A and B are shown apart, each in its own frame.
Chain A
Amino acid sequence: MSKASKLKSATLLAAVLLVVSACGNNTDSGSNQVSDNSPAPAASTDNSAGNEKKIKMRVITITTDENRNKIMDEYIKPNIEKALPNLEVEFEPGGGGEDMANKLKTLNASDDMPDVFWNDAGYFTPLKSTGSIMDLTSAITADGYIDKYAVPDALKHVDGKIYSLSSGADTYFTPVIFYHKDMFEQAGVKVPTTFDEFMQVSKTLKSKDMVPAVTPGKDGWGPKLFMLQQMIQIGDPQAMADLVSNKTDFSNPSVKEGVARIEKMAKEGVFPEGISNLDYGPAMEMFTSKRAAMLMMFTWELPNLAKDDTVDFFPFPSASDKYDPAKVVQFWGSPLNGYAVSAKTEHPDEAVKLAEFLAMADALYFESTGAPISLKTGNAASEKSPLMQKFIDWYNPIPTKIASFALNSLDARTSAELSSQGANLLTGEYAADSFVTAMDKIWSENTWFDN
């Protein structure tokens, strides 16, 4: 072989090695590997084995709202080492909404799922279809964790399997309208009981230089998660229930009327300027700093808002005789929302224990706020704030609870398009008819109900 050929071969070999080493999948460095910072040789699930090597676990969960951050800072991080001494857990912020969904979809596509993660109906389908999410039924039955739930059947997906562990607080989350009593008094308005009264109250508040109502509108958050459902429901609850179960579509006159109500609110200045680009945090701040008199929001914010004595709430006001807020309500819960375990984790037993610990941390936090939960913590019931008690007294006896449209009826494309269309509607530059036409086409291609 000539010198030139040898040099060429050596260069090529070096380049190939460089590329291969860069592309290679180092099987020694996965998230589930035993760390080197402990002298013991093997991973163990024995909690008493303090000197043994710890098993590394990776967790991705929601990090966008105050409740979640408090749970992490006050209930999970201070207690996890004591509760699970054999684990070394790395928490990765997941964000929320579409960001969280895209993150998990991408990790799933690249076969890099975390051991434990927050599951959501919005991205459950692709995780299930690729076998990335574990059925927890046998594990939580064997260790007795399932017995801690007041209603174990509520954990089951429609296929009868259990994929997520939650505190059960979700079932008690429903959208309401929070308001500042002092701002209402100052403006001389009373709590509205009908949609027309609500519009009149908004006009009065606006005339007093107050922003009448606020809600997160960026990326269509509010319209998708509750506003569309509420605006249809207050006119015709049956039409909303039918839409959730795919028995009707967007051409239904009651659905069109609901959409028209959102257009009306946007056009008549119920919301602040720029509502369609208003994120969750700024929307909350706008209400808590009393720059807006009302806040359309789920009751997961109730414990935080109840700290302000001037805050009260009322259900969405009726737009027809068909709706009575004491008889029909939207609930947020889905058995899919909660901590799930990757089916591909190398340490399934430890991952299940970790998911159980995280669900219990959720329960302890919500219990401390006085919120109702279905996961028993063993603690005596805490004293509830007057606002929480008012909520429970109103919510619990309601006979008809309609499931969330956002969680129980939309495939990924329909969900994303509803976000876009909802944001359009909030600009006040987009007609309800255009929304209905666009959504009717998208709805006809929705694959959620095909499974």
Chain B
Amino acid sequence: MNKYFSTKMSIFVFATPALLLFTVFCVYPLVPEIWMSLQKHNGFQSLGFVGLDNYKAIFASSSFWTAHKNTYLIVGISLLLGIPLSMTLALFMEIQTPRLRRFFKSAAMFPAILSVTVVAQIWLAFYEPNWGLFNSILRAIGMDSWTHSWLTEKNTVMLSIGLTFLWQYIGLNAMLFYTGIKTIPKSYYEAALIDGANFAQVCMRITIPLLQNIIKYVLILSTLGSMAFYSHVRVMTAGGPGDKSRTVIYQMYYTAFDTSEFGKGTAIAVVFILECLLISFLIQRFVARDKLEF
């Protein structure tokens, strides 16, 4: 076995197909994309080389910055609210009886397996301002002044969509954490119990530190997943009202396809690719670098 599979050649053999596919489908498309971002382009033909004009134009556009604000708001919701809640849910599942645990596991996974369109339609009904669930409850308990047109007011639209996103994927992350928890040796918990540690101390001193690889994985998944946030916006508000709920990906789509300015659209894409690379690098560089063995 070693003769064939422990050599540099074997690394080359196994890596080549994937590398080739990655190059053809991921790296190569960047080249024409960058080239297109330097042209005035309507999607069908180049209307001339414009240098960095597309980049200047997108940086001067308020919609570009609104889209960034919205995207990073979703990232923030996903990381600051989503990950702690997922972790809490996972810890909660761990201490349940097997029967309840099965129920919670199924309930947690259910939203994640639904299509985005279905989830968005359900939440559209919740948010409907005239007869929707949320406003109806608020009116029923006499809190009329708290009712909102959730998806058309500039202060509530992005938070409302973010909550939908959170609801859909919180269970998936919880399942990842739960799977990680199950890999931690029982003996650690037994020793902690003998030493008189309570539940919170066990979580803070044993469970969470030993989950760092899973946390890193969920962090990357949640960050990049949130940055690619598009489908919920498309179905729920179409980026509106105006540009109030556009994310960067949506702004890129809008610019390229709705306004037929593919040069500017690809310029947004290039800038966003750089942002994603930078964030990915920062996570890799600073989060959970120590090798964990137990």
Contact = CB atoms under 8 A, between A and B. Distances in A.
B13 interface: yes
B173 interface: no
Contact of B12 (A8, A130, A220): A8
A108 B242 CA distance: 27
A274 B151 contact: yes
The size bracket of the interface on B is 35 or more
A413 interface: yes
Interface stretch (B71-79, B181-189, B220-228, B258-266): B258-266
Interface in B244-261: 244, 254, 257-261
A130 B239 CA distance: 29
A279 to B, nearest CB: 9
Given A8-B13, A15-B17, A276 B240 contact: yes
Contacts of B128: 274
Interface in B148-175: 149-154
B238 A412 contact: no
B20 interface: yes
A412 B258 contact: yes
A18 B259 CA distance: 36
A323 interface: no
Residues of A contacting B: mostly? helix
B26 interface: no
B45 A413 contact: no
Contact of B254 (A14, A411, A416): A416
Residues of B contacting A: mostly? loop
A4 B128 CA distance: 66
Contact of A102 (B12, B21, B149, B258): B258
Nearest to A414: B259
A129 interface: yes
Contact of B13 (A11, A218, A421): A11
A417 B259 contact: yes
**Of residues B9, B151, B153, B242, which shows the largest number of chain A Cβ atoms within 10 Å of its Cβ?**
B242
A276 B13 contact: no
A276 B152 contact: yes
Interface stretch (A39-47, A332-340, A424-432): A424-432
A277 B45 contact: no
Contacts of B94: none
Nearest to B260: A412
B242 A423 contact: yes
B130 interface: yes
Given A11-B13, A416-B254, A416-B259, A423 B45 contact: no
Interface string A18-62: 110001000000000000000000000000000000000000000
A12 interface: yes
Interface string A85-110: 00000000000001001100110110
B209 interface: no
B16 A11 contact: yes
A273 interface: yes
A291 B128 CA distance: 14
Interface of B: 9, 12-13, 16-17, 20-21, 24, 42-45, 128-130, 149-154, 236-244, 254, 257-261
5 contacts: A19-B24, A101-B258, A218-B238, A412-B259, A423-B242
